[in-house]
């Protein structure tokens, strides 16, 4: 395992959730599906409580020049989007009666995909 992710000091309180700092949709989606509904809800609540501050700070940087130390927080923000359907629609990680998410493969290297 890699070293624990460090967040910028003002967001250090979110470090217990830094396992959601994952750089790809595939990794974020798989992490959602390996988590329980309670774990997902706790993460969403923690992020929502600081949402305005997080967005305000990240919006200070151009997307294509996001400083290294701010990227994990940015990925956590994208993880909040990843868990949104689980929180708001399905009340759990899975899509009920849905197709296997692992068979629906995101093309992470598609040339028109945004890099950040």
Partner 1 sequence: MDATENHEAEPAISRMRERYPELGSGPLPVEPYISPAYFELEKRHIFKRVWQHVGREAEIPRPGDFFVADLPASDASLIVIRGRDNVIRALHNVCSHRLNKVVYEPRGSARRLNCKFHGWSYELDGRLVGVPDEKYFADLDRDQCGLTRASADVWQGFIFVNIDPHPSMSLSDFLRPVYAGLEGYPFERMTNCYRWRTVVNCNWKLALDAFQETYHVRYVHGRSIADALRQDEEGSMLPIDCLCGDFHRRLSMAGNPKTVYGNPQAASTVDASTQQAGTQRVGKIAAVALKAGRGATKLSFSAADLPPAINWKKDPDWVFDINVIFPDFYVSTRPNYYQAYNFRPIAYNRTLFDSRVYYPEMKNAGGRFYQEYMKCVLRDVLLEDLGTLEQIQAGCETGPKTHMILQDYELMVRHNAHVVNRLIREGESRRQVA
Q: Which residues bind partner 1 (CB under 8 A)?
A: 25, 44, 48, 51, 55, 58-59, 61-63, 66, 74, 77-78, 80-85, 87-90, 95-99, 101, 103-107, 110-114, 116
Measured between alpha carbons, how far is 104 from 57 in angstroms, rounded to an integer? 33
The Cα-based distances of 35 to 62, 65, 91, 98, 109 in angstroms read 32, 31, 12, 17, 26
| Nearest distance from C-beta of residue 1 to partner 1, angstroms | 26
Question: Minimum CB separation from partner 1 for residue 108, in Å?
Answer: 9
For partner 1, give the closer residue by CB, 16 or 53.
53
**DSSP letter assigned to residue 91:** S
Closest alpha carbon to 77 in 36, 109, 43, 113 = 43
> From the CB of residue 74, how many other CB atoms can be counted at a distance below 10 Å?
19
Closest contact distance (angstroms) between CB of 4 and partner 1 is 23
Task: Kindly tell me which of 3 and 110 has the beta carbon lying closer to partner 1.
Answer: 110
Residue whose CB is less far from partner 1, 2 or 110:
110
């Amino acid at each position: 395992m890699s070293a624990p992710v460090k967040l910028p000091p003002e967001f250090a309180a979110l470090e217990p959730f830094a396992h959601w700092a994952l750089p790809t949709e595939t990794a974020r989606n798989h992490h959602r599906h390996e988590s329980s509904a309670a774990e997902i809800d706790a993460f969403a609540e923690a992020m929502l409580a600081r949402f305005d501050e997080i967005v305000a700070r990240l919006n200070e940087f151009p997307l294509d020049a996001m400083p290294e130390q701010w990227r994990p927080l940015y990925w956590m923000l994208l993880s909040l989007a990843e868990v949104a359907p689980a929180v708001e629609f399905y009340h759990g990680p899975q899509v009920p009666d849905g197709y296997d998410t692992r068979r629906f493969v995101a093309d992470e290297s598609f040339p028109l995909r945004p890099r950040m």
